[in-house]
Amino acid sequence: MSQKLDSLDIQMPTERVSQQSTSQSQPLNEQNKNLLYSHIYNNQKFKQNILIFFILVIVINFFCNLALLVANCHPQEVIEDNYYLPFHMLDFYGSFFFALSEGCVLILTGIVTIDSIKIYLIILNVGGTLVALILFTFDPEFFEVTSHWIEYSVQLLLTLTDFLFIFQQDKQSLMYKYRFYESCIIILAFIMSFLKLLIYGGVIPTNDQNERMAHFLEYSGEMINDCFAIFFIIIQLNKETQDIMETMQTSLERLLDKNGIELVRK
């Protein structure tokens, strides 16, 4: 299929791919039309399936954080004596997979591109949570404090990443419409993340319950981040479903124009 598609002289906008104008075009016959339709439809369907997968991951992460929040209601001594290792492993794995899923969704939807400065925010989010996870896996007791400091620091950036969901998308989107209200929630979550660092470091006294109090703020903040990501993906899924329906109904010329493809006849 790709070889037949290459037989058409297709010009893309310069910001997407480099222009290839040296090839000779062939008449746009019915076979080539079908190939173009199939190519665009399959691309939209693949994107939709990937978004469905990531929304499942983030929904699972939301309920994992809810379970951790409930488990954290017990005194610190009970946690350490009964379920210390699975409790913390779920914590660190959840943070990493959320950061990875969030980054993939932002790149997949075009909000973050490889050549933009925002990609470094994604790299820091994914890399930081991965380092914390690996260190804790090496030796839970020895690296627990270090891993928590890394994880809590990175979660400040993860919270700020929510601004990308509401400001870097279609101005007709529901999230963009209520962006100022959502910004207040993000700012609140950021303050919670900052207080979490102060509580865990002992700057704010908690009667020797620093880690447990920090966990309450951590899991609450992560659930807020999950909600923003879930809501954004749902909106994107609706958009992809709409695009697929339009692909099935739209004429080829309008479809190519919508996808930024220009056919040059020579």
Distance CA 129, CA 165 (A): 20
The 10s digit of each residue's pLDDT in 128-144 is 999 999 999 999 999 99
The 10s digit of each residue's pLDDT in 30-72 is 556 666 667 677 777 888 889 999 999 999 999 999 999 999 9
Q: State the pTM of this model.
A: 0.77
Both structure tokens of 123: 């790299």
Distance CA 81, CA 56 (A): 32
DSSP designation for 45: H
**pLDDT value at residue 165:** 84
Output the tens digit of pLDDT for each of the chain's 266 residues: 444 444 444 444 444 444 444 334 444 555 566 666 676 777 778 888 899 999 999 999 999 999 999 999 999 899 999 999 999 999 999 999 999 999 999 998 888 888 889 899 999 999 999 999 999 999 999 999 999 999 999 999 999 898 888 887 777 777 778 888 888 999 999 999 999 999 998 888 888 788 999 999 999 999 999 999 999 899 888 887 777 776 665 555 555 666 666 655 54
Q: Is 266 exposed, middle or buried (0-12, 13-18, 19+ CB in 10 A)?
A: exposed
Q: Chain centroid to CA 181: how far?
A: 21
